Amino acid sequence: MISKLLIANRGEIACRIIRTARAMGIATVAVYSDADAKALHVRQADEAVHIGPSPAAQSYLVGAKIIAAAKETGADAVHPGYGFLSENAGLAQAVIDAGLIWVGPKPSSIEAMGLKDAAKKLMRAAGVPVTPGYEGEDQSVERLKKEAEAIGYPVLIKAVAGGGGKGMRKVDAAADFATALESCKREAKASFGNDEVLLEKWITSPRHIEVQVFGDSHGNVVHLFERDCSLQRRHQKVIEEAPAPGMDEATREAICAAAVRAAKAVDYEGAGTIEFIADASEGLRADRIFFMEMNTRLQVEHPVTEEITGVDLVEWQLRVASGEPIPLKQEELSINGWAMEARLYAEDPAKGFLPSTGRLEQLEFVDAGRVETGVEEGDSISPFYDPMVAKLVSWGSSRDEAIAGLNAMTSGVEVWPVRTNAGFLNRAISDPDFVLANLDTGFIGERLDSLVPASEPDEEIWETAAAFVLFDESDGVDALAGFRLNAAPRKLVALSNGGETRVLAGKGALSEATGLLVDEQVIVFEAGMAYDFSLATRDAGHHHAHDGDIIAPMPGKVIAVDVMNDDEVKAGQRLMVLEAMKMEHALTAPFDGMVRDLAAAPGAQVQVEALLCVVEPAEEG
């Protein structure tokens, strides 16, 4: 058995691995960058090694530093987690060549599934159904456009080396193809160092179904049933569940058998996921489910599989990597109940889901379900990495019970001053179509306006905020502890929010909201949302930018500038593209006008609220 494990990752997955390793009596070594010097995974590990500056490219993505840290601490194994170098065959081989145990599949298996075009050809040969499309070597715009027309629009452009929705675009018409291809290739090159793409037919009513597989060095491969990951935004998974709703036993048997064949085709060892796209226009049917790709690592959503099977997948990884056989046979695995996971991110849905960074002054979860997190109250969300705060996981004996549990978890989130998507998650799982399992991958996009909560407080929230303030003044409640409203004194208080000031009596009726008083601010938490008010006598001192000022919404890198000084622009026209938190953010003109004071250049690093340019309104008449 492994005796000391180095975890080549950070955040919640590093903490998750540490928990299981400790339970197995395995010592752990964390690695960290400058930004993570005081991170939770560093505090929890038995040892920690500094591996470089904050940017991942100079720390977590440098394989030589990972191996050096393992050698320095006497670790005998390396677990890559997910993301970063988890599917890097070069690192896997280097770890093995250094005489260490790689907790993951063999390098040859990673290589076989690493490029989507080659993987699809391999799957065809193994008898696994694949989506119609183009995977040729000719990557010219002309050839790709011709193939797209032959497939028939809409088509999906996908980076062959991609993952996590990066380098992926749906194209509805030929006129949009060249622009989408350019953006897709640029994103793929930046994310994976490879700008080659493949094309796939866009599936009507698509559902994202994936199967958890596990192999060992003794030739055994089992599946641990399926997950449904159809609730996505911009190809990024948001809410996952297991099992998949509407899956009958015959279809489950067919898709899981195909997943096992896929794993055996690459002599797979360890945890992996076979991802399928299902045409659910007539429900889930075995003849309408197609292979998309294989993820040769542990998945972010693995807890839902653990919840319905009772298996610790990280323990299985460590045992199999140590040479042991898979602990259970296929016939010993079964589904028990239903599980759901929601990804809680530090982002502001009201501002286009822009990442929100900073110190977590308040971080509270309800005492229910399973919370996987890499932060504690007082920690910070860094601009350098994925802005995940936590994974909220619920289990129930039925799907309805799992939804109810996740509803309670998302509505009870209290995070401040960092913004989160908790309110958005709460609305998504409360949507009548979600409750009825009327799902496909377009679910969120089609309902986005209704799923994004209003950032402005309603009348009840105003009254609740006033009641919190007056209740505190009359009863002397500890202002920093937070409290639940169960009474309301009869006084007046003046509060401000978003430039509006009101004088209220604090007469709010019994409320499910919770509150937090900090200095001259009152924060109201309700259904996953956080509303902040200040006493009207306080000068907030907020800077209000000119309507035409184009401000950097977050720290990032300018990757494209489409305009020059004195250019005339139209409302909505793209001015430049900012890359931050692994995502591209287009900044557009707020109205017709002329570009002035252009201060952005491609390749430049900019700070939050930096003035990038000004759009001067066009003169009327």
Residue 355 belongs to a domain: yes
CATH number for the domain spanning 589: value is: 2.40.50.100
Give how far Cα 459 sits from Cα of 466, 496, 507, Å.
11, 13, 11
Let me know: does 73 contact 47? Beta carbons within 8 Å.
yes
Domain that residue 291 falls in: 107-130+209-336
Q: Could you report the per-residue pLDDT of 233-278, keeping only the tens digit for each? A: 988 999 999 999 999 999 999 999 999 999 999 999 999 999 999 9
| Lowest mean pLDDT segment, chosen from 99-113, 401-415, 532-546, 573-587 | 532-546
Q: Domain check: are 494 and 607 in the same one?
A: no
Above 70 in pLDDT, residue 480? no
Q: Domain check: are 260 and 329 in the same one?
A: yes
Let me know: does 304 contact 240? Beta carbons within 8 Å.
yes
Residue 543 belongs to a domain: no
Above 90 in pLDDT, residue 498? no
% of the chain residues with pLDDT over 70: 93
Give how far Cα 10 sits from Cα of 64, 132, 584, Å.
17, 37, 23
CA angle 172, 274, 433 (to 5 degrees): 55
Give backbone dihedrals phi and psi of 81, rounded to 5 degrees, phi first. 65, -135
CATH number for the domain spanning 40: value is: 3.40.50.20
Q: How far apart are CA 447 and CA 621, in angstroms?
A: 39
Q: How far apart are CA 333 and CA 203, in angstroms?
A: 32
Q: How far apart are CA 165 and CA 158, in angstroms?
A: 8
Q: Domain check: are 139 and 240 in the same one?
A: no
Residue 541 belongs to a domain: no
Q: Domain check: are 114 and 231 in the same one?
A: yes
Q: Could you report the per-residue pLDDT of 545-601, keeping only the tens digit for each? A: 456 888 887 788 899 999 999 999 998 899 999 887 667 778 888 889 999 999 999
Residue 297 catalytic? yes
Q: How far apart are CA 80 and CA 108, in angstroms?
A: 16
> How many folded domains does the chain comprise?
6
pLDDT, position 609: 76
Give how far Cα 392 sits from Cα of 152, 161, 436, 533, Å.
39, 29, 21, 28
Above 50 in pLDDT, residue 46? yes
Q: Domain check: are 243 and 353 in the same one?
A: no
Q: How far apart are CA 365 and CA 358, in angstroms?
A: 19
Q: Domain check: are 350 and 361 in the same one?
A: yes
Q: Domain check: are 88 and 218 in the same one?
A: no
Above 80 in pLDDT, residue 451? yes
User: Is the peptide bond prior to 107 cis by the omega test (within 30 degrees of 0)?
Assistant: no
Give how far Cα 197 sits from Cα of 135, 138, 185, 250, 276, Å.
8, 10, 7, 34, 19
Residue 266 belongs to a domain: yes
Strands of 168-171's sheet in order across: 133-134, 197-201, 155-159, 168-171
| Lowest mean pLDDT segment, chosen from 13-27, 275-289, 467-481 | 467-481
% of the chain residues with pLDDT over 90: 73
Q: Domain check: are 295 and 232 in the same one?
A: yes
Above 50 in pLDDT, residue 491? yes
Look over the chain and give the mean of its residue pLDDT values, rounded to a whole number: 90
Q: Could you report the per-residue pLDDT of 210-223, keeping only the tens digit for each? A: 999 999 999 999 99
Name the CA dihedral angle for 559, 564, 570, 572, rounded to a multiple of 10 degrees: 10
**Distance, CA of 608 to chain centre:** 22
Above 80 in pLDDT, residue 486? no
Residue 369 belongs to a domain: yes
Closest CA to 187 of 582, 600, 477, 601: 582
Say if strands 77-79 and 101-102 run parallel, antiparallel, or are unpaired.
Answer: parallel
Q: Could you report the per-residue pLDDT of 368-379, keeping only the tens digit for each? A: 999 999 999 999
| Lowest mean pLDDT segment, chosen from 12-21, 353-362, 368-377, 472-481 | 472-481
Per annotation, catalytic residue among 207, 233, 252, 297: 297
Q: Domain check: are 8 and 94 in the same one?
A: yes
Q: What residues are paired with 275 via a beta bridge?
A: 210, 293
pLDDT, position 479: 37
Model confidence at 520, in pLDDT bands (50, 70, 90)? confident
Q: How far apart are CA 491 and CA 237, in angstroms?
A: 47
Above 60 in pLDDT, residue 605? yes
Above 90 in pLDDT, residue 204? no
Q: Domain check: are 236 and 313 in the same one?
A: yes
Tell which of 490, 512, 535 closes a domain: 535
Let me know: does 147 contact 199? Beta carbons within 8 Å.
yes
Let me know: does 148 contact 177? Beta carbons within 8 Å.
yes
CATH number for the domain spanning 162: value is: 3.30.1490.20
Above 90 in pLDDT, residue 620? no
Residue 454 belongs to a domain: no
19 contact partners, CB below 8 Å, separation of at least 6: none
Tell which of 415, 445, 475 closes a domain: 445
Tell which of 495, 513, 535 closes a domain: 535
Q: Give the start-end residues of each E strand in 401-450.
A: 414-416
Residue 93 belongs to a domain: yes
pLDDT, position 518: 85
Closest CA to 34 of 70, 58, 1: 58
Q: Domain check: are 320 and 228 in the same one?
A: yes
What would the mean pLDDT of 406-430 be, rounded to a whole number? 97
Let me know: does 534 contact 521? Beta carbons within 8 Å.
yes
Above 70 in pLDDT, residue 544? no
Q: Could you report the per-residue pLDDT of 93-111, keeping only the tens digit for each? A: 999 999 999 999 999 999 9
pLDDT, position 483: 40
Residue 17 belongs to a domain: yes
Model confidence at 540, in pLDDT bands (50, 70, 90)? very low
Q: Domain check: are 293 and 357 in the same one?
A: no
CATH number for the domain spanning 378: value is: 3.30.470.20
Q: Could you report the per-residue pLDDT of 134-149, keeping only the tens digit for each? A: 988 899 999 999 999 9
Let me know: does 147 contact 136? Beta carbons within 8 Å.
yes
SS3 state at 237:
strand
What would the mean pLDDT of 281-310 be, rounded to a whole number? 94
Above 70 in pLDDT, residue 191? yes
pLDDT, position 473: 61
